[in-house]
Chains A and B, each alone.
Chain A
Amino acid sequence: MKRAIITVVGKDTIGIIAAVCTYLAENRINILDISQTIVDGYFNMMMIIDVTEPEKPFGVIADELSRIGEEKIGVQIRCQKEEIFDLMHRV
């Protein structure tokens, strides 16, 4: 399975998770794990998704999520392939 990590950072507001999840559902991307905290009014979310067989090229998904964050809800959304974290933090 190929996984990717979505991170959302920004000022807390209504509908952040909904916006991300709606996009993922529309693009038939399965969510494997979600964790979320709010620190000092700032929303931090990490989501692990399955990108084994995405319908769109991965770069397009990353760009579209980033745009949803900027234009619709005013938060930073990043979608990165998992290997960068694995390689950096595991010997």
Chain B
Amino acid sequence: MINFSEVAETNAMIDRENLDVRTITMGISLLDCADDDLSKLRTKIYDKITTSACNLVRTGEEITREYGIPIVNKRISITPIAIAGGSACRCSDDFVSIAKTLDRAAKEVGVNFLGGYSALVSKGMTEADRMLIESIPDALARTDVVCASVNVGSTKTGIDMDAVRLMGSVIKRTAERTADRDSFGCAKLVVFCNAPDDNPFMAGAFHGVTEADRILNIGVSGPGVVKRALEKVHGEDFEVLCETVKKTAFKVTRVGQLVAREASRRLGVPFGIIDLSLAPTPAVGDSVADILCEMGLESAGAPGTTAALALLNDQVKKGGVMASSYVGGLSGAFIPVSEDRGMIHAAEIGALTLEKLEAMTCVCSVGLDMIAIPGDTKETTIAGIIADEMAIGMVNQKTTAVRLIPVIGKGVGEMVDFGGLLGYAPIIPVNRFGCDEFVNRRGRIPAPIHSFKN
């Protein structure tokens, strides 16, 4: 039977170390909504989302009440709209009208984000894909909770450089359209390589076409729990360090497993995966950078950071796979700058640069995330940064992503505040040398040699 210290440990994790289930994300397929009449399509989409997810928020709250574990976000991911809406949309504005429908449906069911205003163009773009991508700045400026993502590359297909170039421009235009809110629109836009079909975390969640009609994916978190556990083994050798991270990840994942099982049963929707990601928030004691410091770094970004992060990411996965047979999504350590107090501090004191962040993305679970850069950064430079990040993902067979915010009207050293979980960040410098000729070449970068496994 459970003993006193185990109960106390669990509750201390929840009370003092910010253990929570970060998100319950319901994936909803919109493939059966397809229609060549735009208004019918919008009605079908609205109805499917609002009927599928009508009990999502309430169920999450019930589980919180009964088990005492906070479930911070309830969210929805949908079939990429470039696919679901392709037959009805004749121009970019048609896609924007779908975005507004999605925004309305998401608000109706009470979720705080809906992801899947997306296109998958890792090898090439259809006309619908191109129109959707072109509509992103407008769609994000005119909606509140809709998130967009574009997958522009994969290990199997290479990188669609035409899409990369276009995304450089789309990010810039999104920033301009939301310039009055510190270019907030860009916080809802991710560019991916090897995007997973079952990621529950925003802004990059979408419901892949390989998925069932409806599915529940759970994202658990807990950087504070890992940090606290490591404090207890301060100065020990690497074996002890790894064991501690692994055991903690196991415990955290098990909580996710419980929530997943309960939510699935109560909603009558099959369980998909648990994404065990150490997802920081700007709250004190909820930082991945603080874990790196606890391992012995003076600041995130110092030499040794990449090794420490690689160790952390790997041990988190190892503990997670032991705890649940269906670990998926991104699972590892997130390193968003604006959402992590330790990372923000590191960027402020100059310990963390864009180049070091890029190195860290080779071993973390995703990529360059929530990084504020000067508003006058050129489109081609943004495209170059995207291309670099996509290449890392393609060659290393991992998911990588770019979520940059070129803050219009602001320069290096100035602060931007996005509010809430999205946090705040200092604007960090970008390499000033150009890459125009490279990114302006047409076509795609072929898949790497190790992708030919058939």
- Listed in ascending order, the chain A residues whose CB lies under 8 Å from chain B are 5, 7, 33, 35, 37, 44, 46, 48, 58-59, 62-63, 78-89, 91
Interface pair A84/B69, CB less than 8 Å apart: yes
**14 residue pairs from A and B, CB less than 8 Å apart:** A5-B7, A7-B8, A59-B66, A63-B65, A79-B68, A81-B67, A83-B258, A85-B7, A87-B254, A88-B6, A88-B251, A88-B254, A88-B255, A89-B6
Shortest beta-carbon distance, B330 to chain A, in Å? 22
Give residues of chain B (215-270) contacting chain A, Cβ–Cβ below 8 Å.
251, 254-255, 257-258
Interface pair A87/B258, CB less than 8 Å apart: yes
Interface pair B65/A78, CB less than 8 Å apart: no
| A89 nearest in chain B by CB position | B6
Interface pair A35/B4, CB less than 8 Å apart: yes
Interface pair A87/B2, CB less than 8 Å apart: no
Binary contact track B1-27/A, C-beta < 8 Å → 1, others 0: 110101111110000000000000000
Shortest beta-carbon distance, B174 to chain A, in Å? 41
Instruction: Using A63-B65, A89-B6 as known contacts, say yes or no to A7 and B258 having CB atoms under 8 A apart.
Output: no
In Å, the complex CA distance between A35 and B258 comes to 26
In Å, the complex CA distance between A86 and B258 comes to 10
Binary contact track B65-81/A, C-beta < 8 Å → 1, others 0: 11111000000000000
Shortest beta-carbon distance, B340 to chain A, in Å? 25
Interface pair A80/B2, CB less than 8 Å apart: no
Q: Which residues of A contact B10 (CB under 8 A)?
A: 84-85, 88-89
Shortest beta-carbon distance, A58 to chain B, in Å? 5
Q: B32 on the interface (CB 8 Å rule)?
A: no
Interface pair B7/A46, CB less than 8 Å apart: yes
The 3 closest A-B pairs by CB, nearest first: A80-B68, A87-B254, A59-B65
Interface pair B258/A89, CB less than 8 Å apart: no
In Å, the complex CA distance between A82 and B7 comes to 9
Q: B62 on the interface (CB 8 Å rule)?
A: yes
Shortest beta-carbon distance, B64 to chain A, in Å? 9
Q: A88-B255, A89-B2 are in contact. List 9 more A-B contacts (CB 8 A).
A: A5-B7, A46-B4, A62-B65, A81-B66, A84-B69, A85-B7, A87-B257, A89-B6, A89-B9
